[in-house]
Each structure stands twice: as structure tokens, then as C-alpha cells.
Structure 1
Amino acid sequence: MTVRSPFQLEIASATDAGQIRSFNEDSIAADGDLGLLVLADGMGGYKAGDVASSLATGLVMDYVKRILNDTEPSPIESAKLSRESMAIKFAIEKTNLAIYKTARTEDKYTGMGTTIVLILFHHGLATIAHVGDSRLYRLRQGRFELLTTDHSLLQDQLEMGLISSDDAKLSHNRNLVSRALGVEATVDVDVYEDNVQVNDIYLLCSDGLNDMVDDADIELAVSALSTNISLAATQLIQMANDNGGHDNVSVLIAKVRNGEAEKRGLMDRLLNWLKSF
């Protein structure tokens, strides 16, 4: 984990094409030293969606790493957001423009786009950002909560009272996003900061998970397997596939640990071992 945070991260990931589609257009990336996890769900058909999601995860990782490792004074300033959060916003906007230009200069990539959801841990905080309907959940002290709001036609209908939550589960508009990277030259990015607590578990997922598995069942799996998040990741993929696996499904899980306490515990054990001689 980066020195910018007092916490250590345990990270697990899994991705699968699902039971129906032969090609996986999701892309995931994680850098434990940087404290950054990124997930993207591509759209635009065979290859195009894969290219869009790969560009999203790769470019965002690269932009954020370069900005945060830059020792020169940065023009990124905001009264509301930290330097790290502004770096995330800038990185996503730059990535959006890159995907937009690629889609318009390469005929085979015409119409491609991607969702994105990410989390960056720093200074005891977590910067969360997303565009589209890929989600981020948090399990904290037994409470499982969705921290992102889908940018989708269905969510807009729900907020306007045009459809009930029960009818929404059966709607054919579930996968129609109202916001995505690469569709327009500019994009509106939702960015905010969350205070991090030890033992928090953050789950990033593509809609291939939450479309196939109810939130209550996702919560049950994450809670039951909170001590083995690698198993939790593979279990969530299996649950989506067991329920039909109609879409690609990807998950990234980060569990927050007390880095300073673990270091002290290690030193104490080492000292006790030395005293035994």
C-alpha cells in the first residue's frame, strides 16, 4: 500500500465471460502500492468493447500514477476535493477523450464505449469515481451499502417515479446506460471521498454481477467470506453464472487492514523471538 495511507490493502479479483457470451469485454486492474483499483465494462460489440475497457483501465492507471508521482507543483486544485480526487477526475476525463478519438479514427472501433468505476485509497480516505452502471459496494461493521448511483435509463425512470423497484427488476432497460466513456468528447464524472475504516471491504463489479445476483445474496457472500476475499471473488462469479450468466461478470475486492498495527505486531513477534535466544 502507498505511503500516502496508514492502511494496508488486501486485494482479490475475478472475471469471466459468463454463460452466454463467448468474449469478455470487461477489464480490471489493481495496483496495491498505489492503492488504486479500476474496473471497466466495455460496449460496442466484439473487440470494440474490449478495446474501450482496456484503454479505460490502462490509461487511468497510467495518468493517476504519473500525476501522483509528480514532485512538481500541480495545477490541479479544488476547494472541495483533494489533490488525489482531482487527479482521478482529470485522468478519467483524459481517458474519455482518448477513447472518443480512437472510436472516430478507427472504423472497426466505431461506436465503442465503456463504463468505469474505481477507488483510490489515500491519507485515510477513499476516492470513489464512476461513469455508467458498474457499481461499488461497501461492507462496514455488518452493513452492506451501495455507494454509487447507476447512470442508466432505468435509474432515471426510478428517480422520476415512472417505474417501481419491483418492475425495474424485470425491465428490458436494465443495460441502457445514460453516461459512458468514449461517447462524447466530454464526460460528467461522479467523484467523492469516503472516510476509510479498518476492516472495511469494498466491492467493485460490472453489471453482470448485480443483474444476475440480488444485493442481499451479494451481501451474504461477501459477509460470509470476509476472511477469505479471494474465495469471495470466485464465489460471486459462480453465483452470477449459476443464475444464468447472461453477461460478462467481473469483481474487484479490497479489504482494509491497519498497516501500522500489523507492523507493530510483526516487530513485537520479532523482538520476542530474539529474546528467546
Structure 2
Amino acid sequence: MQIFDDNYSFLKENRNAELVLYSVKGGREEQQDCSGYEIADDRLMAVICDGMGGENDGKKASNTAVGEFLNQYLLSENDGKPDDFFEKAIVSANSAICSFTDKNGNMVCAGTTVVCILIADGLLRWASVGDSRLYILRDNELVQATTDHNYALSLSEQLKNGNIDRQTYETEMLQGDGLTSFLGVGREMQVDINVRGIPLHSGDRILMTTDGLYKLVSDEEINRILTNFKNIGEAVQALEMKASHGALKKRTVRDNMTIALVNIK
């Protein structure tokens, strides 16, 4: 089991895939992202979380969630059902974070997003809660496989159904980044799970990332970088440089950013 919550960069591989994990704290005082992975000859599991909460609670939430996902995955492997852990991991992680209390025994408001993948038997399976994303690149086309569980999604659905008008939609979209689902206290969770899996092809690339990347780098730029850089370590470095430049251009404080990039052999 491997869990990481500080700045890091490294590459692992098995006979089917290469994995690069990369994280930077950015301009924040604390790294509240966390990630982990398990890799064997014929399978790869990776998970990324983006925590939220003061007094180290966001960091604790993301670390807790990553640990629960890794534990549930290992238990499922022992049971011979390695693709049957997503739902159990979400429930156990949510329960653990909801049980956080301060030194006085009061409930702590903390939470985290999560996106997790399993690559096994030639298939990609995944689960997500929140707005950390999963992208799939195939034949130079980048597709976001997960849904952002945020206020913008809710507003788009309300507009589509005629429950709000265009003016209200555009006004409320100023708060569109607000999460409507995450692991932790105070929300009814929206969950995306794909356990049937999609077949993978040689040359496919799978990108998992917290919002510290895609809020600074457009999907078009991500596509261009993943397509043009054949070495995935160099691709991740290019994404980091683009995000750093994006923060300077927008004159904004860099958020935590964590990336997992997988190349299918």
C-alpha cells in the first residue's frame, strides 16, 4: 500500500501500463490533496482525493479516504472480487470522515472529493464523488468520463427542465464551482460508478486530476499535451508548467494539484 500527501513525482509500471503520480502544493499553506496506488503484474488501482476543511481537517479527510479505498481494494482482492470494492470504499470513507470530532468532541465539518480507477482484465473501471476528474484520451480525442458534482451541474439541469430562466442561470453560475457532493458531513452524495468497465486499447491514456489542473489548463491544452508528449513523465511536467503559467496569467494563488497519468502499453 502506498499513500502520498506531500509534493512528489514518480513512475511505476507493470506489463500492461505505466503510471506517473505527480503533486504540488502550489501557493497554499497546506497540501490537502492525497493519492495512493496498488500495482501488480496484471492490474493497477489508483486513487486521488482533494480535501476541504480548516485546522488540518481537509488533509485528514483526503488521507482517510485514500486509506479506505486502498484497504477496501486489498480486501476485495483477497475475496477474489477486485472489481467489487468501489461502493464499499465510498461508504466506509464517508462514514470515517463523518465521525471526525474536535478535541471537545464536537462534529468537524470536513470533506473530500475522490476519483479512483481500476485497470484489470483489459478494462477500465472507475468511481468518483465531487469534482476531481477522470479523462480518457484515445486517437487524439480527450473525453471527460466523470461528471463534476457541483452547483453548475444542478443549474444546467434546472435550466434544461425549465425551472429557472437564463438570467437566473447566468447570475447563479458565479457560484457554479460550489460542490454539491463530496465524502463527509452535510451532503447527500452523488456517486458515479462504472463497474462494467470499458475495453482499453494500446496507446490509450487515462488522466486523473484534482481541480488544481483543469481550472488553469483548458481541456484543449490538456489534449494537445497528452497527444504530443509520448513520454508520460514529460507530459506531466508539461501540464505542470502550463498550470504554473496559467496561475501567473490569471494572477491567482495556485491551488494544490495532483495528477495521475496512465499509459496503456
Q: TM-score, normalised by structure 2?
A: 0.80
- Give the secondary-structure state (helix, strand or coil) at the position aligned to 1:130: strand
Contact 2:180 2:187 in 1 (8 A): no
Matched, 1:97 2:95: yes
**Which is bigger in relative contact order (C-alpha 8 A, separation at least 6)?**
1
Give the whole-Å Cα distance in 2 for the aligned partners of 1:137 and 1:124. 17
| Counterpart among 46, 62, 68 of residue 53 in structure 1 | 62
Deviation at 1:174, TM superposition (A): 4.2
1:213-232 aligned at under 5 Å gives the runs 213-225=217-229, 227-232=230-235
Tell me the amino acid that sits aligned with residue 177 of structure 1: L
Give the whole-Å Cα distance in 2 for the aligned partners of 1:163 and 1:105. 46
Contact 1:200 1:256 in 2 (8 A): yes
Q: 1:11 to 1:70 in 2, by over 3 A?
A: same
Per-residue displacement from partner, 1:93-152 (whole Å, max 9, x unpaired)? Answer: 111111111257876871110000010012121111000000000101111111001000
Contact 2:155 2:173 in 1 (8 A): no
Give the whole-Å Cα distance in 2 for the aligned partners of 1:14 and 1:88. 23
| Counterpart among 76, 81, 88 of residue 67 in structure 1 | 76
Matched, 1:179 2:187: no
Tell me the amino acid that sits aligned with residue 181 of structure 1: L
Matched, 1:11 2:28: no
The percent identity for this pair of structures is 28
Give the whole-Å Cα distance in 2 for the aligned partners of 1:103 and 1:199. 46
Q: TM-score, normalised by structure 1?
A: 0.77
Deviation at 1:237, TM superposition (A): 2.1
Contact 1:115 1:130 in 2 (8 A): yes
Aligned to 1:235: 238
Larger strand fraction of residues: 2
Tell me the amino acid that sits aligned with residue 70 of structure 2: M
Matched, 1:32 2:42: no
Contact 1:31 1:37 in 2 (8 A): yes
- Give the secondary-structure state (helix, strand or coil) at the position aligned to 1:121: strand
Tell me the amino acid that sits aligned with residue 144 of structure 1: L
Give the whole-Å Cα distance in 2 for the aligned partners of 1:183 and 1:224. 42
Structure 1 segments unaligned to the other structure (5+ residues): 1-5, 72-82, 258-277
Contact 2:34 2:59 in 1 (8 A): yes
Per-residue displacement from partner, 1:201-238 (whole Å, max 9, x unpaired)? Answer: 0000001111111110111111111x211121222122
Give the whole-Å Cα distance in 1 for the aligned partners of 2:24 and 2:143. 24
Aligned to 1:142: 140
- Count of residue pairs the alignment pairs up: 236
Structure 2 segments unaligned to the other structure (5+ residues): 1-13, 248-252
Aligned to 1:128: 126
Aligned to 1:204: 208
Give the whole-Å Cα distance in 2 for the aligned partners of 1:105 and 1:148. 37
- Give the secondary-structure state (helix, strand or coil) at the position aligned to 1:115: strand
Give the whole-Å Cα distance in 1 for the aligned partners of 2:260 and 2:132. 11
